[in-house]
Structure 1
Amino acid sequence: MKLKKYNLQKSPFIVPTSDGKYIAEYFGLATNGDSNISIAHMKAPSGWSEPFQTPEFDEFTFIIKGKKQFIINGKKIILSAGESIKVEKNVRVQYSNPFEKECEYLAICTPAFDINKTHRED
């Protein structure tokens, strides 16, 4: 008997938010308990931002449409559709969408995203 060598995900976990951001986690702690990686589809509305943080995980971002702003150790970086970035763990970063249009993107974290390991500033 052959063992299944894949995990098909058709029902992501929709993360409840209070800031208008859409987060659908396909793999990760919230979806299947995987602590090695998280993969999420996100939509950040115009005007959205998060506080500065210093996460204990690497985060890869690929922009599908719109633009997203990153402030990494004081340097402002703006990504547009088709561009990507890796922000290494233990680096101070702020994510935002100060632009007029929604930003849609994929976020991959290794190890998996864990709100308790983001170390967000007040």
Structure 2
Amino acid sequence: MPVASGAIPADDPTRTLVHARPDDRNLQHVAIAGGTYTILVTGEQTAGRYCLIEMRVPPGGGPPPHGHDFEEMFTLLDGAVEVTFRGQRTTVRAGETINIPANAPHFFRNSFDQPARLLCMCTPAGQDEYFLRVGDTVDDPTAPPPALTDEEKAERQNRAAALAADYRTELLIP
């Protein structure tokens, strides 16, 4: 793709370097979709351009079918997951990267007997905020998700569905 002619915009000195460290006590961790997600880089830190989330997904974990009007890219750091994209299933293993185009129906599931660890970049940002609003905060990335009653699980699902449109997401569950 050709570069547009003309000068690039001036540096914005109000923006700062973001250095995400996995042991940073200020990172937010949220239990959601059967796993624990750590917000490494927030949309606020990137002026809304993207967010970066580390996902720890245990066997059996993963989100329900959904779609959204933003790009989502996953890099598998450890383990493997099965990704269903427009009805076609593929296995993604450690070291591999996939990109989900905006608006495409998809989901992933850890169908294996080992935990998976992924980096998820969403552009533009917003998914970081959605996860924090619908999940349960936990102390660290290895903390187990809270034990929820059936009523609490239903409340989380209802909250996710109610907020989905605010975050440009559509849950594709019956």
**What band does the TM-score fall into relative to the shorter chain?**
0.7 to 0.9
Q: Which residue identity does 1:35 align to in structure 2?
A: G
In structure 1, distance between residues paired with 2:171 and 2:97 = 23
- Percent of residue pairs identical: 19
The residue aligned with 2:49 is: 36
Q: Which of the two has greater strand per residue?
A: 1
In structure 2, distance between residues paired with 1:54 and 1:5 = 32
* Aligned equivalent of 2:34, options 8, 15, 20: 20
Which structure ranks higher in relative contact order (CA pairs < 8 Å, sequence separation ≥ 6)? 1
The answer to whether residue 171 in structure 2 is matched with residue 117 in structure 1 is no
In structure 1, distance between residues paired with 2:125 and 2:16 = 21
Deviation at 1:102, TM superposition (A): 0.5
Deviation at 1:42, TM superposition (A): 1.0
The residue aligned with 2:17 is: 6
Q: Secondary structure at the match of 1:107?
A: strand
Structure 2 unaligned segments of length 5 or more: list them: 1-12, 131-166
Distance 1:32 1:5, change over 3 A: closer
Deviation at 1:5, TM superposition (A): 4.4
- Which aligned pairs between 1:1-122 and structure 2 lie closer than 5 A? 5-9=16-20, 10=24, 11-17=26-32, 19-29=33-43, 32=45, 34-114=47-127, 115=130, 116-122=167-173
TM-score, normalization: structure 2? 0.61
Instruction: Spell out structure 1 runs of 4+ moving beyond 4 A.
Output: 31-34
TM-score, normalization: structure 1? 0.84
In structure 1, distance between residues paired with 2:73 and 2:88 = 17
Q: Number of residues paired by the alignment?
A: 118
In structure 2, distance between residues paired with 1:49 and 1:8 = 27
Q: CA RMSD in A?
A: 2.0
1:24-65 per-position Cα deviation (integer Å, ceiling 9, x unaligned): 011124x64842201011110001132111111111111011
